[in-house]
Amino acid sequence: MESIILTIKYLNVYYDNHQILFNVNLDVPEKKITTIMGPSGCGKSTLLRTINRMHEITNMARTEGEILLKGKDIYTMHPEELRSRIGMVFQSPNPFPHMSIYENVIAGYTLKGIRLSKVDKDEIVERSLRSVGLWEEVKNKLFKRGTFLSGGQQQRLCIARALAMRPDIILLDEPTSSLDPAATQKIEELLMKLKDEVTILLVTHNIAQASRVSDYIAFLFLGELVEFGPSTKIFTTPENPKTEEFISGKFG
């Protein structure tokens, strides 16, 4: 039996008077890769943003239902605490342009006003960069700006920045959509290693990618969770005809 780290119950999400998600119920297993799939506009990114309360940046957004992280209601947490426990990596690599590679990795601590010794900073930077396979590539360039790196390296830097806070979960919203095939392969290999230490929730439109990296699949369609289960089952014997149509490329 898998340990459940995140529980979503009867989640409805609205922007102004427009409902995006409808009664979503989902249990996310710990230290696995759960991929949220579905056609454009089905609510995938909205679901991710709701999980770490980024939707609140839009003042017209509102939610109903519950989201529990290790049994604790995320709406009882301060957003800063929540976002350090549930990190987010976006579609386009976004290292802070005015910061060095070193400063980017520890940015979460800096922005929260957490004082660290030089020894602690050095340890966090090296550990985080090693965890994304970037240390050997950048160890002699730590004080250059992160924006000097290639696109794939920048995305791994963004993942390192999220990992530096030792989160419970990392959310990744189409993290390879702007990368070339070689960089995409590196990110996929990285995710497969990282799931030993952190739970990963991935949004992708790439069905082949989902089949390569996922332990579980959540299929969204028109804002509803149509099907959820182990990726092997979803890709071989889906229960819902809509899931089968999407996987076979009949719509997307």
CATH number of the domain residue 163 falls in: 3.40.50.300
Q: Could you tell me if residue 252 is inside a domain?
A: no
Are β-strands 33-37 and 199-203 bridged in parallel, bridged antiparallel, or unpaired? parallel
In a domain, 129, yes or no: yes
Q: Is 39 within a domain?
A: yes
- What pTM did the predictor assign? 0.93
Domain count, the chain: 1
Domain membership of residue 95 as a residue range: 4-247
192: in domain: yes
One pLDDT digit (tens) per residue for the chain, 252 residues: 689 999 999 999 999 889 999 999 999 999 999 999 999 889 999 999 999 998 888 778 899 999 999 999 999 999 989 999 999 999 888 999 999 999 999 999 998 889 999 999 999 999 999 999 999 999 999 999 999 999 999 999 999 999 999 999 999 999 999 899 999 999 999 999 999 999 999 999 889 999 999 999 999 999 999 999 999 999 999 999 999 999 988 766
Separation between Cα atoms, residue 122 and residue 119, nearest integer Å: 5
Here the contacts of 71-79 (C-beta below 8 Å, separation 24 or greater) are 71/7, 79/53
Sheet holding 4-15, edge to edge: 18-29, 4-15, 61-69, 72-73
